[in-house]
Structure 1
Amino acid sequence: MLGASFLKQKKALEWLSALFLFLLLREWLLPLPSLSDTGSISSFLYLVAGIILVDMTFRSHWLGLLIKIIGTLVIFHAAFVEISLFNPEWILQTLQAVSEDFSRIVNQEWTNMSIISRNLLFSGMILVLVSLLNYLVLEQRQGLWFVFITISYLAVLDTFMPFNGSGAIMRTLMIGFMLITTLHLSAIQKGFIYRGTQSAIWKTLVVPLMIVSLAIGVGYASPKAEPNWPDPIGFLQGKSVTGQSEAIRRVGYDTNDKTLGGPFQQDDTKVFTITTNDKYYLRGDAKDVYTGKGWIKSDKQLESIVHPKNYIWNDTLFSGLETKKVMAVVQAEGEQLPAIFYPGQLKGIEELNPENTTLTYDTISQGILTFNGAMQKDSNSRLFVERDDSTLIPTPVQQYMDHYQLQAEIPVISEKKIIAAGSNYPKDIEERYLQLPNSLPDRIKQLAEKITEGSNNPYDKARAIENYLRSPGRYRYETKDVPIPKEEQDFVDQFLFETMRGYCDHFSTSMVVMLRSIDIPARWVKGFAPGQEISRDANNNMTIEVRNRDAHSWVEVYFPGSGWIPFEATASFTSPLQVNYDRLANEANEFNIPASTEEKEANKPKQLDQMEEADKPVVKTSAGFSWGWLWGIGILIAVGVWILWKKRQEMYLWWLQRKMTQYAQDDFPRRFTLVLTIFEKMISPRYSGETLREYVNRLQISGDERQDLLYLTTIYEKMLYGLKEMEGKTRSLWQQTIERLLRQMKP
């Protein structure tokens, strides 16, 4: 008896509906790692599942709320805190962190909030929203609107953000249809008229499942024409590039960066296909001299690598950091390039085609060009090709690569180590990577100093400038309406203070220049964004397509003892860098954040934050995704759900009354069943084993309403026990009675 009073009795269809609701909520969380600095979302998925489980299990709302709050704190502790759960100090430190961030919330400084507060508040938002969704979808059986909102959410992300939502939308369609089906069948199962068996209900569920699976499968496998409207953003903005194709460059990897700026058009030409176990920047080259208009190299230290397979690659980019091994097979597709592109830090080349290829490795920029034949170097570091007659000739022939297989490693940085690195830079690093033109406007340095005010180490200063450039609404990502600086204008100054719009070259160059202006060594790096995943095998290896539109530039900052660490300054893009936020182990009483949770799964292949698009009009947003946008969207959703919850009875009564009009005027059983459903939802549910008369007599309603209900109950009982036809007078009377009851019902 005790268990029955505290626990709900749920049927299989209701549990199945709960599963489908969880899968829909999962689709809301899956894009977060690729659109924000969120690490692992596993803790949030556990939280969602736990909230649904509690609401499905416990009858008492107050007991359920207490369990959900405790569970939220336990999951938060397991994911983000290293000290013991039973040590109350972590609760005090959490409250202290939240209280310190309260002023930042009031001042709308979302990006400056601590990670502890962000995750705790986000968990609280999940607790509230999922609880409301449980009530609206599972209890009230109103699932269609949530399916529609989920599809709209994914469509918006797919359109305006660097996120490929095609697979997610297909999953949502199938899951949503099954959710609506199970909710409907569950309502039938609880109805008064339904006399079907359990097997009949499950057969009813299997048929639509098979139909939906077949329809989606055939649609997915069938050949499809190219979209007639592939880029809606230009239409929405009222812009057209008609007649400008000859004046606008096409995006792609280019070695000439002396003059940056100006518009360009998207180019979907495929460059190569990569099979790899992880996604990362594909590094091509780095440049160190900023001229005020663009980038050049001060000098080169070239090394000829005649036998690449036997060459030992030193730690030229970073050292002393935790790393992850990456294997990559690169296959040229269409347009070939005379260079080797690699993720992170190159550690070995296993295959090379054409085989008679010599690599010229720039030990300063870590760029690798490919040439045909065996190469030598003269006293002036010029490269020559050695021919059969043993003569040396300049301007060797570049080798366009068809295929190569390589080993590399990507870093997992330790915030604690990076912060402790300090600013004792080697002299050669300072001389080369603090260079700025004498004509650089003073207001660039003044802006950098203002942005980094309050930051006491190079790492925090770099993050502050990165966040400033990526903040929503400040600088707009644009590829078409982009001017070229005038002769007397500085490229960075024009972007930061005048046009305030541009693409990756503008954002990355501005960050490098601002860092150098406050004596932090940095350099400009170019290559390709990770591209678009097209398939994945049983070993979790991805096949990725890289196109000209994926050409990209980013920033590398030097930290003593660690080396060159990448930063992503471009709005709407997310750095693939993996970060262990262990600085909080000392500063915030040994808290940890999602990256440390991922370390527990270090032996499992995992997909990094995606950057599906790079330097192209397809990236259709004016500012980068941030926690500010996330909170803004969350607040809007919360307000909307709160309004729906406050108006739930009015809306439900309106829906039931509208449903009544769908039944025939003489369909008494269905109309009476609907009237009882209204009383069950609005006043009191019917107990198990309770007869209709007992239920009507127990209701706390007016005497007139009770008399009307008893009259309808009498007619219903007569129909159950043999009455097949009614007299016209009786039919008219019960119709008037039902209409009178509906008018009297007040939410």
Structure 2
Amino acid sequence: MNNYISPLSNFIRSFLLSIVHTFLLLPVLFLFLKINELNGFYFFVLFFVMTQIIAALFKKWWLYFLIQFGTITIFLYYTFPPSNKQMNFIEWLSLIWQYGKTEWTTLLSTSMSTIPVFLATVCLLFLITLLTYTSIRQRLAMPSFLIALGYLIVIHTFTNQAILSTAVSVTGFGLLLIGLVHIDHRFNTFQFLKSAGLTALLTSILIGITYWSITPLRPVQEWLEKSSEAYQQYLNQQGFFDWIRARSPQSRYQQIGMDTDDEVLGGPLQNDFTPLFKAYTETPQYWKVLHRMEYTGSGWNSDLPSDRSLATSPYEPENVDLLYGTTPKKPAEIQETTTLVWENPVDYIVYPYGWKKLEIQNAPDDFTMLASNINGHHRVTDSRQDISSYTITYDAVSLGSIDDENFHQDDGWRTLLLESLNSNTEVPMFDADLSLREKMVQIFPDDLQLPASLPQRVTDLAVELTEGIDSEYEMVRSIETYLKNDGGYRYSLQDASQTPEEEDYVDQFLFETLVGYCDNFSTAMTVMLRSVGIPARWTKGFSPGSEQTDTDGKTYYQITNANAHSWVEVYFPSSGWVPFDPSPSFSNPMTRTEADLAAENSGSSFNENDMPEEGSPEAEDPEVQTPEETPDEETPEETERGSEEEIIEESSENNSVTSSEESLNSWYLLFLIPIFFILLFTFYFFSVHLKVAIWILEKLIQKNKLSLLQASRWTLRLFQIKKKKLSNQTFENYFEGLDLSVNEYSDVLNLFAHLLNQVFYGHETAKDSLSAEQKIILLDSLQVLKFLPKYKN
């Protein structure tokens, strides 16, 4: 058993290396899984830790890889379990093999818009296995360190991920691992631990100094980023970043679209003009999906609401005036209908403001929908028949008919409400010392919620913008105008930054980056309105889309993923929740101002993202405006934010791929995938190449394929890979320097040294074939070579 299990002293050394190796790679592994939206981090951690223990415990390389193969199989079995309990293990292996082949075929035939989960998992498991063997058994720290650091460099180059702290950690533990593997193996356990402790202390001091220097050196980093901005713009003009984006599965840009997870907002986006649905209506309008109420500092709480209830078609929403739109004071309602036709079966319901009824024609009996009055989200849950269209009845009077007078009627409603609630002077409801906002929070806790960590300067800015304004409506417009026009903020999908940890999403946008897209603008407005006591909530859905005409002459609006949008809803007692849009170049049809209407009449689009790239199917339709046809320079908001070229570049940002680009992408995949596996194979060969080389040399010697000179020379070269022979060393001194403690090894090497002296310095006929005795000496020497503990070049 001693031939298979590492001695205690070696196990302690290997286990210490395993701990450092774990701290080196796990942060990078977490970052990789997070960026590529892969689940199961704790399963990977468990597998990683088990791999380190196995590498430290077993000294036979073939035993390590055999155990690892079984561990990988078990891990895959629990990660991708059988579809039913009756499936046996062999059937599962066959199924998982077919699944892998399917992902491989898909990977080769399509663009890498999403990462293949199974193949990525398998590659990660084998990469962890190889890196661990190389670091722990072969005592080579550089492969793990360079792979981890190289990946961080790539992420920093092509993303806005905050990696500085991770890079410091990787560098520190990488240097520590390099130091530990170079401690002389002849040291006893106490000497090794002493040297390891000093190495760890020096590395910790280095890491501490680096962390302390992060803040003071931030101006230097900003200067470097500004200095390289011209080069980045040049690369962008040459299409370099577009090329990277088209082939990197979510490594830098996430595609714009509807997502129900808003826990963490921020980061750059790329447009996706994939069609979603057609809305047959002659009136452009915003299409709502849901709203959020709890701001966390990094995004919006996306937990499923507890009030979700089953609904069937036809469906009439409850509390429609307060939840789903505005109901102005009009003598009569004008009911209109719109039919939404989806490209794929319906997954969630989108609806216009003022909607009263949803009906699915020929709805199946088993159709059900989860409807929530808390966040307005309606999701189709079960249907044996695909549903791809539905009809909504809505109040058309509300659209575009809300003017300033409607809102000014509600001015002062908060003060009147508080006075009525606190009319009983004997038992006052509120403390006299409370501010207006603090009193309102007690009445509208959800719609005025703000995290305790919100920086004070956000509130100060909101107070400054609304100071001296008595009208509730004018306060809302003041904040909206500041974000849309007067604050110097720039709309950009590409240049939006991710929020660093421990910083506030709104605060970073308002005072640090000043660049973002709809999520930044709408969240900022919602938070600032709440800061001054005005109930507001964050809303998601789609902008109006592009107006088109079908073959029957019917007008419809085409909505794509690029129309995914967010805005703000503000509460007014007489009208309910009213939408406002602070994003530059966007104008909500319900509350657009005269300036918005003037811009609309001059030809600008409701949404700059509605305009597909020239050459895409939509741009080829003469009914659809292209970016070149849209006079962006006439829009006042955009004029204040940059040159015409910058606006066109921003408005035409997209992810369309022409046929030639698709061909290039296919060749790129065909080139990338084999190279990736060749690198893995090369890395594996590098990890165990001596064992492979020894095995080949043994076979050649046994079959008399080499002369004495060739066999001796190649055997000596393999020894020198372990430890280089100095020019002034004799063969005897060289082998003594290997310091093998077993006398049997020393005897074999003494015979080998004598043979080498005869071959290189004696009168032995070196070109003759090997004798039986010489074969034994060479083969025994190769066996000793297997037990040398590490490289010492």
* Greater strand content: 1
Q: Which has the higher contact order (CA 8 A, sep 6+)?
A: 1
**TM-score range relative to shorter protein:** 0.3 to 0.5
TM-score, scaled relative to structure 2? 0.42
TM-score, scaled relative to structure 1? 0.44
Larger radius of gyration: 2
